[in-house]
Amino acid sequence: MPNSIDMVALLGARDEFLRIIEKEFTADIMVRGNEITMNGEPAELALTERLVDELIAVVRNGHGLTADSVERSIAMIKAETAESPADVLTQNILSSRGRTIRPKTLNQKRYVDAIDKNTIVFGIGPAGTGKTYLAVAKAVQALQAKEVNRIILTRPAVEAGERLGFLPGTLSEKIDPYLRPLYDALHDMLDPESIPRLMTAGTIEIAPLAYMRGRAQPYDAQVLTPNGYRAIGSLQVGDLVVGSNGLPTPVLGVYPRGRKQVFRVRTQDGASTLCCGEHLWTVATPEDKRRGRTRTLETQEMIGRLRRGYIRRYELPVVEPVAFEPQQVAMDPYALGLLLGDGCITTSTTPTFSTADAELAQALESALQDIELVPKGTYDFVLRHKNGGRGGLRVANPVTTVIRELGLAGATSATKFVPESYLYTSADVRLAVLQGLLDTDGGPVPQRGRTCRVQYSTTSGRLRDDVIFLVRSLGGIAYSHTRLAEGRRPGRALGRDVQHRSDAHVIDIRLPAGIAPFRLGRKMELYGRTGGGRPMRFIDSIEPAGEQETLCIQVAAADSLYVTDDFLVTHNTLNDAYIILDEAQNTSPEQMKMFLTRLGFGSKMVVTGDVTQVDLPTGTRSGLRVVQEILEGVQDLTFCRLTAHDVVRHKLVGRIVSAYENFEGSAELKR
């Protein structure tokens, strides 16, 4: 039995709610004090009693009644639904600025519940049914609960057949009218002062659907695969590419994006790639690093904001050591690195090796089967075949044979290189080659108060590029500069000047923790005193590079990252995001497919629209209509349909919608 306070809330001011109930039911209702007496037909009494119980439950849950909520409760009771009106009217989604957002009708509750249970939800119904408003509320709720990292709100800008290019004003002024309903919803749910900050940080992104088409690279942009680099334009669904963790991940989709303005994105270590303005990058600002997080930004969002004073703003993730397909190699990789550094491999004579470190000579001899190092002077050693002259037969030196097989015969200091079979193979082999090169022509460079970097020098431009490749493939960073031979002070040897005959390429190297750059004891001991620090890669410049035909790929990696030119880590889908497509009836079937395939891991999509208000050009089918034919029944995806009974604006709006539905229904019957 309701108490006096419940009774006042139940009946309404001047018995307003009681009169609504009496109007809708034929039962006689009498109220005396805290008692309610009802007389009438048993079926009608049962409905009326259930209604009163539901309204009391709403009041006792601390929710006030309104004439609208009473009328909606009556409609639910009369429909004899399994759901309780009290459950519908007391389900809070979000409380903000003194107001609570909750579903007001049964279909709205089903819509909200569907969003909780499914990854993709389509909310289809007439204007005023709260499709977009409730979707934005659920997005804000998910962001505040840290279920997602960002909210993306998008809408096609084709209403009334207008084209953005012909509208007056700046780009923002052209776009804002189409996105105003989304802005208004956000302002109802968040502190208005926080919205610009969240948008600047990329936590909330609002953009027309056309701006989500991008995330593309030119057809000749290179993508790393387990067997080496391939043009992105040659990839097909099912092909394997390399993810940010260095492991293979399959391509799930390949989508041509047409001719676009592209930009050259360059990092501080000289790496670069081409992409469109909407292409996505996972980056970390100094503030992000302090909070242990990253953000995802478009290329165009970073233009003009790359530095804060002298500090580069956006740090990119560095790929972990890449797991290329292992290959058989003809020579021990560490031995090859030593010979490329301090060996004479012209093959016009027996190969030799020069070093002042007995440790390196012993290591080389141990790594080469049937070879012994015979001293020839103070620092020179001949690589003699142990069985080379037995029985009067001359047996080919195995080192000479392998050098020829690898194409290195005749290579001089200025023309040496790392054979491809040693570049695109297991990380252990690549590291061993690099260690041999650094033990001979590289070394640790201690810095007071800082970690130790590694420096390597060579006169071979090709070997320079190969060393940079090895470093980057192992998760490191390499900077290169060239010291020209012309004008350099000559060196000294045996008391006389020695002129420089070739330019010298100097590479500064940072390798990740756990990867030892040296095997030589004295170098490793010096390097190990402070360690090598952490490889860091920052975006240094973004410059226009003309227009090109482009396409994008979707990969199965959990973070959606893949490796492009120069081991740059980039990505193309939307992970850990809450994405809302509003006014979806104005998308084409192709746009709808493009949007749905942007879904990344940990993300949720809500698509809203009214199929009775399509503004597409004549002859163009609505993507929202087509998608119902294609995806109905797909698991983890559902369609929620709202009607005129779910309109929560002025009552007249609901009547107008109902009138149109009846008119269109009767017109359909006459055909």
Q: What is the mean pLDDT of residues 381-398?
A: 75
CB 140 within 8 A of CB 578: no
CA distances from 141 to 102, 116, 124, 186, 599 (A): 12, 11, 22, 11, 19
pTM over 0.85: no
Same domain (yes/no): 578, 482: no
Mean pLDDT of the chain: 83
Query: Does some domain include residue 379?
Result: yes
Which sign does the torsion angle of CA 55, 56, 58, 64 carry?
Answer: positive
How many of the other CB atoms lie within 10 Å of CB of 461? 16
308 lies in the same domain as 360: no
Cβ atoms of 227 and 325 within 8 Å: the answer is yes
pLDDT at position 33, please?
Answer: 67
Helix (H) or strand (E) holding 371: strand 371-375
Q: Above pLDDT 90, what percent of the chain? A: 39
DSSP state at residue 245: T
Q: Could you tell me if residue 244 is inside a domain?
A: yes
pLDDT band at 494 (very low <50, low <70, confident <90, very high): low
The residue out of 520, 552, 569 marking a domain boundary is 569
Percent of the chain with pLDDT over 70: 83
Give the residue, 281 or 353, on which the prediction is more confident: 353
The sign of the CA dihedral 417, 419, 420, 422 is negative
Comparing 150 with 230, the larger pLDDT belongs to 230
95 C-beta neighbours (distance < 10 Å), count: 12
Instruction: List all residues 6 or more positions away from 91 whose beta carbon is below 8 Å from its beta carbon.
Output: 102, 103, 109, 112
Q: How far is Cα 116 from Cα 606, in angstroms, rounded to an integer?
A: 11
Q: Is residue 173 part of a domain?
A: yes
Q: Verify that 506 and 580 share a domain, yes or no.
A: no
> What mean pLDDT is predicted for residues 350-358?
92
Report if residue 231 sits inside a domain.
yes
Residue at 185 is within a domain: yes
Look at residue 352 and tell me whether its pLDDT is greater than 60.
yes
Residue 493 has pLDDT above 90, yes or no: no
Whole-number pLDDT of residue 662: 66
Contact 283, 294 (CB under 8 A): yes
Determine the residue type at 92.
Answer: N
Tokens 């087509």 locate to 626
Sheet order of strands, 204-208 included: 204-208, 150-155, 577-581, 604-609, 120-124, 637-641
Number of domains the chain is built from: 4
Name the nearest CA neighbour of 456 among 440, 475, 432.
Answer: 440
Looking at per-residue pLDDT, the higher value among 314 and 156 belongs to: 314
Q: Are residues 57 and 176 in the same domain?
A: no
Domain end point (choices 42, 61, 90): 90
Domain span including residue 79: 1-90
Using CA atoms in the order 245, 247, 253, 259, what is the torsion angle rounded to 10 degrees? Answer: 60
Closest by Cα among 587, 582, 571 to 608: 582
d(CA 325, CA 248): 10
Residue 179: the pLDDT is: 65
Residue 237 clears pLDDT 80, i.e. is over it:
yes
pLDDT at 471 over 80: yes
Confidence of residue 544 (pLDDT cuts 50, 70, 90): very high
pLDDT for res 627 = 92
Looking at per-residue pLDDT, the higher value among 242 and 349 belongs to: 242
Residues 141 and 202 in one domain: yes
Domain-located, residue 95: no
Give the pLDDT band of residue 164 (cuts 50, 70, 90): very low
Q: Which two tokens stand for residue 178?
A: 């189409």
The stretch 409-425 carries a mean pLDDT of: 94
Q: Is it the case that residue 516 has pLDDT exceeding 70?
A: yes
Q: How many CB atoms lie within 10 A of CB 164?
A: 13
Q: How far is CA 591 from CA 163, 212, 254, 402, 633, in A?
A: 16, 10, 15, 56, 21
Q: 415 in a domain, yes or no? A: yes
Q: What is the pLDDT at residue 474?
A: 96
Q: Could you tell me the pLDDT band of residue 177, with boundaries at 50, 70 and 90?
A: low
Q: Give the pLDDT confidence score for residue 166 in this predicted structure.
A: 42
Residues 365 and 386 occupy one common structural domain: yes
Amino acid residing at 225:
T
CA distance 176 to 158: 13
pLDDT tens digits for 65-115?
777 777 777 777 776 666 666 666 666 777 766 577 778 888 888 898 899
Beta bridge partners of 316: 537
318-347 residue pLDDT tens: 999 999 999 999 999 999 999 999 999 988
Same domain, 378 and 457: yes
Q: Which amino acid is at 599?
A: L
CA–CA distance, 152 with 550 (Å, rounded to integer): 23
d(CA 519, CA 426): 18
Q: List the CATH number of the domain containing 113.
A: 3.40.50.300
Query: Residue 58 is part of a domain; what is its CATH number?
Result: 3.30.1370
pLDDT per position as a tens digit, 19-28: 777 777 777 7
Q: Please compute the mean of the pLDDT values over residues 203-228 and round it to a whole number.
A: 80
582 dihedral zone (left: phi>0; alpha: psi -120 to 50; beta): beta
Whether residues 351 and 467 share a domain: the answer is yes
In a domain, 323, yes or no: no
Range with lowest mean pLDDT among 62-76, 399-413, 473-487, 600-614 = 62-76
Q: What is the mean pLDDT of residues 542-553?
A: 92
Q: What pLDDT was estimated at residue 160?
A: 38
Report the CATH number that the domain containing residue 277 is assigned in CATH: 2.170.16.10
More confident residue, 205 or 669: 205
Assess whether 189 and 152 both reside in one domain. Answer: yes
Q: How far apart are CA 535 and CA 475, in angstroms?
A: 8
- Are 24 and 143 contained in the same domain? no
CATH number of the domain that residue 346 is part of: 3.10.28.10
Is the pLDDT at 171 greater than 50? The verdict is no
At residue 6, the pLDDT reads 62
More confident residue, 104 or 607: 607
**Closest among 643, 562, 634, 569 to 600, alpha carbons compared:** 562
Q: What is the pLDDT of residue 169?
A: 47
pLDDT of 658 higher than 70: no
Does residue 174 surpass a pLDDT of 50?
A: no
- Count of other CB atoms within 10 angstroms of residue 7: 17
Same domain, 470 and 337: yes
Q: What is the pLDDT of residue 163?
A: 47
* Interacting residues of 221 by C-beta distance below 8 A, sequence separation 6+: 231, 232, 273, 274, 275, 564, 565
Based on the domain organization, do 401 and 418 belong to the same domain? Answer: yes
Residue 541 is predicted with a pLDDT of 96
3-state SS class at 580: strand
